[in-house]
């Protein structure tokens, strides 16, 4: 059995889309047991609309919801009866639970995971690691993409080791690990980048470090893991999202503006669909917080049933691939070789 707890009241489409995704997940995998946290009577009501094996779902009642516009730390401390805090408590206390999924406030999910679940032994800082589709149809990842804005080179060294273990579990063979920098030459960058480069180059971990990567190559498909501090990683991820969004908007406007373009757009409908689909991050699951004692997946705030299903399968893959154990082994090896 694989037991996962899902914050049923996190995200814009909760609880309906959450429940719908959870039901599809258990109906396609009889080994799954999902614990939902949230208003019990509401969840019962929504569940009554579905056919499923009710031994695979249990509910923990939670009366409160944490919103995006409240202080994460205070919310976790004070809203003890919220769907997120209840989910975190369950993940902490129930040894059988392998991980937690929430589409709630990123800040609250991260802070809550730090406070409630805690770091794995030896982990300096847990890091947030999203999956991004590339122009080659492959995936790439950024570690850290925003959990730690003030970083030391030793943190980034661990981000590389944890991200590497994650990508291996996802099936990427010998991931090409790069360091985000302002140029590709070995000695480029700020003080932190230069120190991190040396750590990665001389790392006793068996990561396949391929050197520095410029931000323009994120989507090239030439790199599997981009190691960076959470500030630059956040800029890298969000500027990429923003550029694509804005370019598509400009296209729409240009198309609207011209009669011939409108005709053209009709012919290209499928093409545009493919492109949008290709760049839809949510198809690739949520961002994983690496380095916590249990698996933590932050799903997009606007997640649909399909996205929740993907996230559940993502947790299953990580659990079956023994990600937490692998990370702890990899870090121990480096620890020992440093002593």
Q: Would you tell me which residues interact with a second copy (CB under 8 A)?
A: 134-135, 146, 149-150, 180, 182, 189-191, 193, 214-220, 230-232, 234-251, 254-255, 258, 260-261, 263-268, 270-271, 274-275, 278-279
CB of 266 to a second copy, least distance (A): 7
Q: Between 187 and 206, whose beta carbon lies closer to a second copy? A: 187
Q: Between 24 and 234, whose beta carbon lies closer to a second copy? A: 234
Contact 16, 46 (CB under 8 A): yes
Q: Which of 95, 75, 72, 3 is nearest to 293 (CA)?
A: 95
The DSSP string of 21-35 is: HHHHHHHH-TTEEEE
CB-based contacts of 258, cutoff 8 Å, min separation 6:
none
Q: Between 1 and 191, whose beta carbon lies closer to a second copy? A: 191
CB of 122 to a second copy, least distance (A): 24
Q: Between 81 and 254, whose beta carbon lies closer to a second copy? A: 254
CA 167 – CA 140 distance, rounded (Å): 9
CA 170 – CA 3 distance, rounded (Å): 19
Tokens 């947790």 — which residue? 315
Q: Between 69 and 338, whose beta carbon lies closer to a second copy? A: 69
CB of 138 to a second copy, least distance (A): 12
CA 161 – CA 126 distance, rounded (Å): 12
CB atoms within 10 A of CB 265: 17
CB of 105 to a second copy, least distance (A): 12
Q: Between 167 and 237, whose beta carbon lies closer to a second copy? A: 237
CB of 270 to a second copy, least distance (A): 7
CB of 76 to a second copy, least distance (A): 17
Segment (H or E) for 276 = helix 259-278
Q: Which of 18, 133, 28 is nearest to 87 (CA)?
A: 18
């Amino acid at each position: 059995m694989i037991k996962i707890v899902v914050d049923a009241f996190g995200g814009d489409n909760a609880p309906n889309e959450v429940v719908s995704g959870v039901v599809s997940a258990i109906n396609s995998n009889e080994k799954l047991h999902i614990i939902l946290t949230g208003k019990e009577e509401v969840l019962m009501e929504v569940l009554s609309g579905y056919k499923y094996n009710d031994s695979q779902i249990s509910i923990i009642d939670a009366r409160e919801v944490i919103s995006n516009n409240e202080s994460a730390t205070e919310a976790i401390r004070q809203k003890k009866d919220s769907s997120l805090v209840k989910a975190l408590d369950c993940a902490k206390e129930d040894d059988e639970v392998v991980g937690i999924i929430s589409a709630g406030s990123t800040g609250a999910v991260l802070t809550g995971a730090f406070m409630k679940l805690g770091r794995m032994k030896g982990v300096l800082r847990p890091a947030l690691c999203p999956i991004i589709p590339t122009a080659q149809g492959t995936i790439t990842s950024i570690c850290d993409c925003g959990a730690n804005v003030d970083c030391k080179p030793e943190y980034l060294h661990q981000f590389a080791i944890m991200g590497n273990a994650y990508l291996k579990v996802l099936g990427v063979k010998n991931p090409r690990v790069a360091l985000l920098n302002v140029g590709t030459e070995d000695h480029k960058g700020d003080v932190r980048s230069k120190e991190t480069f040396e750590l990665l180059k001389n790392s006793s971990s068996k990561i396949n470090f391929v050197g520095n990567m410029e931000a323009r190559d994120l989507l090239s498909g030439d790199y599997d893991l981009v190691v960076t501090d959470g500030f630059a990683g956040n800029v890298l991820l969000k500027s990429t999202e923003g550029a694509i969004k804005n370019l598509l908007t400009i296209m729409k406007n240009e198309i609207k503006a011209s009669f011939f373009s409108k005709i053209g757009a009709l012919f290209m409908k499928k093409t545009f669909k493919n492109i949008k689909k290709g760049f839809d991050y949510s198809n690739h699951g949520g961002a994983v917080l690496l380095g916590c004692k249990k698996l933590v997946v932050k799903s997009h705030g606007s997640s649909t049933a399909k996205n929740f299903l993907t996230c559940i399968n993502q947790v299953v893959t990580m659990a079956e691939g023994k990600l937490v154990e692998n990370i702890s082994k990899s870090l121990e090896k480096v620890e020992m070789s440093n002593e």
